[in-house]
Chains A and B, each alone.
Chain A
Amino acid sequence: MNYAEQFRQLAPLLPGRHLDWLEALRRAGEARFATGGFPSPREEEWKYTNVAPIEKKLFKPAAGESARVDKATLERYRLPEAWSLVFVDGVYAKDRSITAGLPEGVVLPLAEALERSPEQAEAFFHKIAAREEHGFVAFTTAYFRDGALIHVPAGLRLEKPLQIIHVATRPDGLSVLRHLIAVERNAEARVIETYIGTGSASYLTAAVTEIHLDENAGLEHIKLQIETDKAYHFGGIYAEQARSARLRQHHAAFGGLLARTEIHSELGHGAECELDGLFLATGRRHLDTHTLLRHRAPQAISRESYRGIAAGRGRGVFSGRIVVHQDAQKTDAEMSSRNLLLSEDAEIDSKPQLEIHADDVKCAHGVTVGQLDSSAVFYLQSRGVDELSARNMLTFAFANEMVEKIRPDSLKHQVQSALLAALPQADIREDWL
């Protein structure tokens, strides 16, 4: 049995089979995946991340209706002030989702949209991700089961954040999702993607999010990846920003055994892109973040700031690539990657790349990989804090500085809790924060 055979059996469950354009895309994706498989470390962009453990297994998609999910688990990660779409094992769970009060037609599960308004889905599906033809993307194109279609019409400001909660519940389960976010001219939205799992078994979640930002549109997008310790995760976030569009993306990766997130954006004239991220490669985790910003037109601004912590036998990878195209004069780009290594066996590979084809630009990047500052440890000790607690406090501080940028406050506190849960021996008093 392989994925092709597996999905042939489940073919009726895949949405949009009646749509020729989608069938063609699925077949192309399937063919591509059948020949190339998942990416290998031989590919330059994957050289630090070996996904062979995923290749060796055959994860199984959910067969029928979405599984029940423990309410307490869900509520722990649901933001009280947000609308939410919940996907359990990759299948939309309507009874767990909160959509009351959403403006009509703005948010739909993709499977439903392919039935009710396929032309809307067609306008955005695989338009941006088509540029990212590696095995994982092809895999999601071929086998996606559902996703969210978020389409904010011109001038509308979505008053509450929209949270997409992904819960994996089944051992060896497979969730394959495609999300589409389209924000029209002068419109604004906030979208949060939360990835969690229950149980202790292994599973694979593969999700691709395409983000279309029209002229002067604004999107705040936050991804929180706190999969379980044996989980495999691939997430691709691919954006295109038209003139003066603003994207603010925050990525927190604290979970999973092997996880890779790609965040790519193409910036139009005067567009602004801010990428913040934090990964915690504790235990035996391998966490890889790959960012690519293409400045295609003049006067765009990008600010990228990533932090990584590796402890135990953890491994972190950050590659940040900025390409300034020939026409992109007056580009203003800054990238920084700061990393903390907490053990002998931990490893972090940070690779910034600037590729500049224009002559009148301002680009800067900086990378540091280091240990805790001993003078800061002593400072805390001199205030009565024991050495281990001082080290933990400084580790927390290093990470929390990124978390503090997250809005709204309820999400910030949630990420802080997740951070404390993920840090080894974090004896930080949450009630004092």
Chain B
Amino acid sequence: MLNIENLHVQVDSKPILQGISLDVQAGEVHAIMGPNGSGKSTLSHVLAGRSGYEVTGGRVTYKGQNLLDMKPEERAREGVFLAFQYPVEIPGVSNIYLLKAALNAVRRHRGDSEVDAMDFLQLVRGKIKALNLDEQFLYRGINEGFSGGEKKRNEILQMAVLEPSLCILDETDSGLDIDALKIVADGVNSLRSPEHSFILVTHYQRLLNYIKPDVVHVLAQGRIVKSGGPELALELESKGYGWIDQSAAASV
């Protein structure tokens, strides 16, 4: 699904990612954990194609294609989805408008016809119910005046409607209470299948109680310093990130 090889990225001439390699197979869930400033968000942004990041080395292959050559919208249409840490508010265009525009962009790209208005509404109604959201939510401006939890659930709603192949969740768990966290986790788990892969970027182990990862990576100072099974997340939780920083420093 996704192969990252020795990726180096800098922002304003400052190296942020310093040789990341990662291989995500179809159906796998990878958690990327690390302290603040380790480069977690940079990695998610670079994968989604945000401008302002300079790739100085390495390559990223997604379904056999060079991901870094693709525009953000092409990545999205090919099935890469980033759930934002800070979703943007866009009053003046409704949530449901964006959902329709996004779904139809993906469908057109695949050569499918535009989704029928009634079928679409039925599809979306099912999804919002599962996320414990009110239908009125669809007709509000995009993220306009949403609470932190509502914004995150809206990201998951978009993900559920688009059914992307590769979902990158950038600190989706931050700022969520336990109930909202469970709802978000249910949304992710219901999409888990041999066709869908996930990268969960998180600071805390908490989310991983509800979404069980296949692999946990620890990111520090722009490198993956340790990879392991779910037990690695628990180790981080009990020991903190201090020992990681020391080992990262030692390996420089």
Measured CB to CB, the residues of A under 8 A from B are 373-376, 378-387, 389-390, 393-394, 396-401, 404, 429, 431-433
Contacts and interface: CB of A to CB of B under 8 A. Distances in A.
Contacts of B77: 384
B76 A382 contact: yes
A375 B88 CA distance: 7
Of the listed residues B81, B105, B117, the one surrounded by the most CB atoms of chain A closer than 10 A to its CB is: B105
Contacts of B101: 383-385, 389, 393, 429, 432
B102 A401 contact: no
B85 to A, nearest CB: 12
A389 B98 CA distance: 12
A388 to B, nearest CB: 10
Contact of A386 (B50, B73, B98, B100): B73
Given A378-B51, A397-B91, A401-B91, A384 B71 contact: no
A380 B73 CA distance: 8
A373 B88 contact: yes
Contacts of B210: none
Interface in B202-238: none
Contact of A383 (B71, B98, B117, B141): B98
A315 to B, nearest CB: 23
B105 A384 contact: yes
A384 B92 contact: no
For B48, B84, B90, B94, the residue with the greatest tally of chain A CB atoms inside 10 Å of its CB is B90
A384 B101 CA distance: 8
A385 B93 CA distance: 14
Interface string B61-104: 00000000001110111000110100110111110111011100
A382 B82 contact: yes
B31 interface: no
A397 B92 contact: yes
A401 B90 CA distance: 10
Contact of A385 (B48, B73, B162): B73
Given A379-B87, A432-B100, A384 B93 contact: no
A378 B92 contact: no
Interface of B: 48-51, 71-73, 75-77, 81-82, 84, 87-88, 90-94, 96-98, 100-102, 105-106, 109, 117, 141-142, 158, 162
A378 B93 contact: no
Of the candidates B49, B72, B105, the one having the most CB atoms from chain A within 10 angstroms of its own CB is B72
A384 B91 contact: no
A433 B117 CA distance: 12
Contacts of B92: 396-401, 404
Given A379-B84, A384-B105, A384-B109, A397 B73 contact: no
30 contacts: A374-B51, A376-B88, A376-B90, A378-B51, A381-B49, A381-B73, A382-B75, A382-B84, A383-B76, A383-B98, A383-B102, A383-B158, A384-B73, A384-B77, A384-B102, A384-B162, A385-B73, A386-B71, A393-B90, A394-B90, A397-B141, A398-B92, A399-B92, A400-B93, A401-B91, A404-B92, A429-B97, A432-B96, A432-B97, A433-B94
A379 B97 contact: no
Contact of A381 (B72, B81, B106, B109): B72
Contacts of A398: 92
Given A379-B90, A382-B81, A397-B142, 17 more contacts: A380-B98, A382-B50, A382-B73, A382-B82, A383-B105, A383-B162, A384-B77, A384-B105, A386-B71, A387-B71, A397-B141, A398-B92, A399-B92, A401-B141, A404-B92, A432-B101, A433-B97
A394 B142 CA distance: 11
Given A379-B84, A379-B87, A387 B93 contact: no
Contact of A384 (B51, B84, B106): B106
A381 B76 contact: yes
A202 B92 CA distance: 34
B247 to A, nearest CB: 34
